Amino acid sequence: MKTKMIVILFAAFVLVACTADSGDKTGTGTPGPACTTCEPDRTAGEAAATPSAGMVATHELTMQFAKPESPYPDGTKGTFVIGADNTLKVTINGVCTLIKNPVVRAASSVEFIFKDNCSKNVEYQASATPSGTLNEINIGPVGGGYFGQFHQ
């Protein structure tokens, strides 16, 4: 009886310990691509920023209002993970970029800017609603501008 109990407990331990995917690179519990990491410096007129707690989540968004110079055409789908650790993980078409060091510019305190200066040379401008949740993510060239927006 004691041996049987030990075997059952061991089997339960193995089952629980081995169900998490060690290949999780998305932060969502599912396997995903390895990420390129960008850690841009702040420039003049920028201050360090922390997105509101209501924005911290995984967001499945679709590109709309894309300009011709946008790297993403209308209808492009992306996964955007705003992390409690002040990061933005962008996965589009199987390509993952992890961006650190968000900033705000003097003109905006509700738009948190994550600069991808190591992959697409764009910035993702995550804007908050008045209640502090994600409104949309605009994209533009690093330094400012507008290519379009990712929206629900």
**Per-residue pLDDT tens over the stretch 101-141:** 999 987 667 899 999 999 899 999 999 999 999 999 999 99
**pLDDT of res. 109:** 74
pLDDT band at 24 (very low <50, low <70, confident <90, very high): very low
Question: Is 0.75 topped by the overall pTM?
Answer: yes
**pLDDT of res. 107:** 64
**Per-residue pLDDT tens over the stretch 69-102:** 999 999 999 999 999 999 999 999 999 999 999 9
Q: Are 83 and 76 in contact (CB under 8 A)?
A: no
Q: Are 98 and 26 in contact (CB under 8 A)?
A: no
Query: How far is the C-alpha of 139 from the C-alpha of 124, rounded, in Å?
Result: 5
CA-based diameter of the chain, in Å?
72
Question: What are the CA-CA distances from residue 138 to residues 78, 128, 134 (Å)?
Answer: 13, 11, 11
In this structure, CATH architecture of domain 33-151: Beta Barrel (2.40)
Q: Please report, for the chain, the start and end positions of each structural domain, with discontinuous segments joined by +.
A: 1-25, 33-151
**pLDDT of res. 110:** 83
Of 124, 98, 92, whose CA–CA distance to 111 is shortest? Answer: 124
Q: Tell how strand 35-38 and strand 95-99 pair up.
A: parallel
Please compute the mean of the pLDDT values over residues 23-51 and round it to a whole number.
Answer: 75
77-114 burial code (b ≥16 CB/10 A, e <16): ebbbbbbeebbbbbbbeeebbbbebbbbbeeeeebbbb
Question: What are the CA-CA distances from residue 108 to residues 29, 63, 111 (Å)?
Answer: 34, 22, 6
